[in-house]
Amino acid sequence: MAQINLLKQTSTPYDFKETGPKILSKVFLVILAALVIYYAWLFFDSKSIDGKITQAQAQIASDQQKVTSIQGRDELLTRQLQIKNLQALIAAHVYWSQLFPELARVTLKTASYTTLKVGLSDDLTLGVTVPSLSDLDKYMQIFDLSQFNQNFSDIRINGFNKVQGVSSTAVQFQVSMTYNPSLIQYNAQSGN
């Protein structure tokens, strides 16, 4: 008669304890292999980046070489220097011809100028002839009016004397004044 084992089987827990670590071991082996593959990928990626950096640096060196040796570069730099200097000179350029119309506007109609001396020191010296002393007085009074002393101020008379003309006497004097420097600077309205 065949013998039947009716006792509860105890091999299953033994099997898990036996196979579990083996499975885990295989899983970690796979993980280790994946890590190695990942490292290999990182290694080649690093080499690839090195290659790209070298390539870009070579391109930079080549472009820099082209920039320094390109034909016409020296002329371009010279022209740029010319323009830069010219811009600075133009900014400081003055137009003395703008002084005359304004001087005429503020001058007494009976007065005439015999000499004019002006420099960049903002001082203007004029030799003036007027018919009489009262005209000399009027000549000076004009510069007390606000509409006439915007561009000429600080009028100084350096002595005067009577001179005999062809038909009448006149008064000659020398006058110094300060002019407004903006008067001789570039004026877009006048085109100068």
Partner 1 sequence: MPKVPKSAQNALVEVVLLIVVCGLFTWFIILPKKAEISAKNASLAKVVEQESTVSGDLAKLQSMIQTLNSSSNQVADLDQALPLDGNTVNLQILINSLAQSVGVAVTDVEVSGQPNTVVAGDKALLSDPYGATRTLQTLAGNLSVTGSFAQLQAFLQKLETSARLIDVTDLEMDAAAGGNLSLRLGINAYYLAPSS
Does 137 bind partner 1 (CB under 8 A)? Our answer is no
Does 105 bind partner 1 (CB under 8 A)? Our answer is no
CA distance 57 to 48: 14
Residue (114 or 134) nearer to partner 1, CB: 114
Q: Which of residues 113-132 bind partner 1 (CB under 8 A)?
A: 113-120
Does 93 bind partner 1 (CB under 8 A)? Our answer is yes
CB of 114 to partner 1, least distance (A): 6
Burial of 160 (0-12, 13-18, 19+ CB in 10 A): middle
Radius of gyration of the CA atoms of the chain, in A: 50
CA distance 22 to 15: 11
Question: Where is 156: in which H helix or E strand?
Answer: strand 152-164
Does 163 bind partner 1 (CB under 8 A)? Our answer is no
Does 17 bind partner 1 (CB under 8 A)? Our answer is yes
CA distance 76 to 85: 14
Size of the chain, expressed as the number of residues it contains = 192
Q: Which two tokens stand for residue 96?
A: 């003395």
Does 44 bind partner 1 (CB under 8 A)? Our answer is no
By CB under 8 A, name the binding residues for partner 1. 10, 13-14, 17-22, 24-25, 28-29, 31-32, 35-36, 38-39, 42-43, 45-46, 49-50, 52-53, 56-57, 59-60, 63-64, 66-67, 70-79, 81-83, 85-86, 89-90, 92-97, 100, 113-120, 192
